[in-house]
Amino acid sequence: MQNRHSKSEFVALLAFLIVATLVLTNGFVARISAQGKDVDVFAKIQPIGDVLGIILDEYVRVPDIDKVVEGALIGMMNALDNHSSFISAEGFQVMKEETRGEFEGIGVSIRFDDDKNIIVYQPLADSPAAKAGVQSGDIIFKVDGVSTTGMALEEVAKRIRGPRDSVVNIQVARRRENAEPQIVDYTIKRGNIPLDSIKEARMLPSGFAYVRVSDFKDTTSKDLAKHVSHFLEKDMKGLILDLRWNPGGLLPASKDVCELFLPKNSLVTYTQGRKTGHGSLTENMKLYTEKDPLVPAGLPIIVLTNGDTASCSEIVTGALQFYSRAIVLGAKTYGKGSVQTIIPLSRPANTALRLTTALYYTPAEVTIDSAGIKPDIESPLTKDEQRALVEQMFNSIKTDASMMNQQNHGAITGNEATDKTAEDKQLQRAVEILQEDPVFDNLMKKYHRDTHETQVAAPADKVLQQGPHAEGNEALENNVTPETPPTPAAPPTPPAPPAPENK
């Protein structure tokens, strides 16, 4: 027993020395000192070495140290707040692809069906997969001759993705009514697949333009400007900017979008971090518009929001509301007023941290973290109404992604209404208001609320509260989006199913 204890103590001490060495060699001595004389940080982190020693000595199998370390990093980040996280090497690569607005693959999103088959959720319009004939609902059961049975979704995604101009073979089973499934083999050359954050852009029958933005990428402002310019050429009477179900994205992209609507040199947002005295990660930043607006000053604008409008979409909402450039309609936004900095790591290789480094503030000089932004016009939808609408929107394009701009919102988009039709009441209300008066100043006087009422900071003890940890780039709890529709048999208010993997 003495030898066993000695071994455990030695390993624990060695592990502690390794951790201490990493701390010291990464320039943390000054930061540890800054914690104050009453905090012995070295003593505080000693349990890490103790636990590692126990694991090495007592675990039933020889542990994979890399996985243990990664798990420790995940736990460390999760302990901070529900937006900080550790990003694995694969996750970091996917994140970089998605934020720059494209990835290399065949252009399908996949997910599990109710029977745990991996199915094609939807082939993207004009993608290599769509051109080859892959269809929504196809069961993928082999990739390059390897069965997908029992395989994790991420593993299948990894096998389907690959460098541009390389080839992948997939074998699918296509269900047929009153017949055995049809087996189809595809050999598909991979390409560059754009990830457009503009999910709908159309002129409504009423003559008002409608644009739905799903997130904020490097390309969002450019893509939005293209659509808005087209609608201006068509003499649109007003614009409805839909930021419902938009979880955010890149902070600079929110400024770029605001440049389309606000006068030059308008303050969009500013950040405030902790004064650490050693670096620039929490350096305060102010974002101003740098260009003249694309949209004429008098053109009516309504912004649609709901409880899943978060982060960058709240920045845009807050700025347009503050400067009286848009009427905000819908429900109170999510309330994510924090800024996450992506910090690449050399150990483990190609991984990164997503660390909360600051709070952002609206031009009203408040952080809406944990508080959200209240709309000028309250027009909520229940979760059941949202789910029915989302499912209807998705089903209207399920078999033909090229119809993206013709999604079914009910009668307001010119679709035939039945007893089962889910009407987009928020979009309907927006059109009704725009039809009341062509002079936008009159509408603002009638409906715009003082930002002292709509943009109010949460109590200090509520800001950055910990909650169930949200994974993904800007994931939200119970998020229901047209890109991740609920299964029809789902109970009334469950979390939405995991977002499909893009390949």
Which DSSP string corresponds to 103-119?
EEE-SEEEEE-TTS-EE
Q: What do you get for the CA distance between the two ends of the chain, in Å? A: 54
Q: pLDDT tens digits, residue range 406-447?
A: 999 999 999 988 888 999 999 999 999 999 999 999 999 999
Round to whole Å and give the CA distance between 155 and 68. Answer: 21
pLDDT, residue 39, reads 64
pLDDT, residue 477, reads 34
Say whether both 250 and 153 belong to one domain. Answer: no
Let me know if residue 160 belongs to a domain: yes
> What's the average model confidence in pLDDT over 266-292?
83
**Residue 12, pLDDT above cutoff 70:** no
Let me know if residue 468 belongs to a domain: no
Let me know if residue 496 belongs to a domain: no
DSSP collapsed to 3 states, 37-87? CCCCHHHHHHHHHHHHHHHHHHCCCCCCHHHHHHHHHHHHHHCCCCCCEEE
Structural domain ending residue among the three candidates 144, 159, 194: 194
pLDDT, residue 281, reads 59
> What is the b/e burial string over 76-91, where b = at least 16 CB atoms within 10 angstroms of the residue's CB?
ebbeebbbbbbbbeeb
Let me know if residue 96 belongs to a domain: no
Let me know if residue 80 belongs to a domain: no
Round to whole Å and give the CA distance between 130 and 405. Answer: 17
Let me know if residue 92 belongs to a domain: no
Helix (H, G, I), strand (E, B) or coil at 321: helix
Say whether both 168 and 243 belong to one domain. Answer: no
**Residue 40, pLDDT above cutoff 80:** no
Least confident span in 164-168, 238-242, 346-350, 437-441:
346-350
Confidence of residue 36 (pLDDT cuts 50, 70, 90): low
Round to whole Å and give the CA distance between 97 and 492. Answer: 34
**Residue 29, pLDDT above cutoff 90:** no
pLDDT, residue 480, reads 53
Q: How many domains does the chain have?
A: 3
Round to whole Å and give the CA distance between 467 and 461. Answer: 13
Q: pLDDT tens digits, residue range 72-105?
A: 899 999 999 888 999 998 888 878 877 776 788 9
Q: Which residues pair with 281 in a beta bridge?
A: none
Instruction: Please give the residue that has the higher pLDDT: either 323 or 8.
Output: 323
The amino acid present at 270, given as its one-letter code, is Y
**Residue 256, pLDDT above cutoff 50:** yes
pLDDT, residue 125, reads 79
What contacts 374, CB < 8 A, 6 or more positions away?
A: 332, 449, 453, 454, 455, 456
Say whether both 161 and 240 belong to one domain. Answer: no
Say whether both 214 and 187 belong to one domain. Answer: no
In order, the DSSP letters of 202-268 are EE-TTS-EEEEE--B-TTHHHHHHHHHHHHHHTT-S-EEEE-TT---B-HHHHHHHHTTTSPTT-EE
Share of the chain above pLDDT 70, in %: 83
Say whether both 454 and 305 belong to one domain. Answer: yes
pLDDT, residue 223, reads 96
Least confident span in 90-104, 130-144, 429-443, 471-485:
471-485
Let me know if residue 21 belongs to a domain: yes
Say whether both 135 and 269 belong to one domain. Answer: no
Structural domain ending residue among the three candidates 161, 194, 227: 194
> What's the average model confidence in pLDDT over 333-346?
92
Round to whole Å and give the CA distance between 56 and 16. Answer: 13
Give the containing element (helix H, strand E) for 288: strand 286-288
Q: Are 195 and 217 in contact (CB under 8 A)?
A: yes
pLDDT, residue 153, reads 84
Most confident of 58-72, 130-144, 286-300, 403-417: 286-300
Say whether both 329 and 242 belong to one domain. Answer: yes
> What's the average model confidence in pLDDT over 228-247?
97
**Residue 241, pLDDT above cutoff 70:** yes
pLDDT, residue 493, reads 27
In the numeric block, which tokens belong to residue 254? 């929110």
In the numeric block, which tokens belong to residue 365? 């000089």
pLDDT, residue 196, reads 85
**Residue 50, pLDDT above cutoff 50:** yes
Angle at 340 between CA 336 and CA 345, to 5 degrees: 155
> What's the average model confidence in pLDDT over 373-380?
98
Q: Are 217 and 253 in contact (CB under 8 A)?
A: yes
Q: Which of 466, 475, 393 is nearest to 427 (CA)?
A: 393
Average pLDDT, the chain: 84
Say whether both 313 and 405 belong to one domain. Answer: yes
Instruction: Please give the residue that has the higher pLDDT: either 210 or 109.
Output: 210
Confidence of residue 264 (pLDDT cuts 50, 70, 90): very high
Confidence of residue 492 (pLDDT cuts 50, 70, 90): very low
| Domain harbouring 116, CATH code | 2.30.42.10
pLDDT, residue 138, reads 92
pLDDT, residue 417, reads 85
pLDDT, residue 114, reads 80
Say whether both 164 and 252 belong to one domain. Answer: no
Say whether both 112 and 243 belong to one domain. Answer: no
> What's the average model confidence in pLDDT over 463-489?
44
Per 3-state DSSP, what percentage of the chain is helix, strand, and coil (rounded to 5)? Answer: 35, 20, 45
Task: Tell me the backbone φ, ψ of residue 396, rounded to 5 degrees.
Answer: -70, -15
**Residue 495, pLDDT above cutoff 70:** no
pLDDT, residue 31, reads 52
Q: Which of 281, 286, 285, 287 is nearest to 356 (CA)?
A: 281
pLDDT, residue 96, reads 81
Round to whole Å and give the CA distance between 57 and 20. Answer: 21
pLDDT, residue 194, reads 81
Confidence of residue 497 (pLDDT cuts 50, 70, 90): very low
Say whether both 320 and 285 belong to one domain. Answer: yes
Round to whole Å and give the CA distance between 479 and 484. Answer: 9
Give the containing element (helix H, strand E) for 286: strand 286-288
> What is the b/e burial string over 45-67, where b = at least 16 CB atoms within 10 angstroms of the residue's CB?
ebebbbebbeebeeeeeeeeeee
Structural domain ending residue among the three candidates 12, 36, 63: 63
> What's the average model confidence in pLDDT over 376-395?
93
Say whether both 376 and 305 belong to one domain. Answer: yes
Q: Domain of residue 118: give its range.
A: 102-194
| Domain harbouring 323, CATH code | 3.90.226.10
Let me know if residue 314 belongs to a domain: yes
pLDDT, residue 1, reads 46
| Length in residues, the chain | 503
Round to whole Å and give the CA distance between 444 and 249. Answer: 29
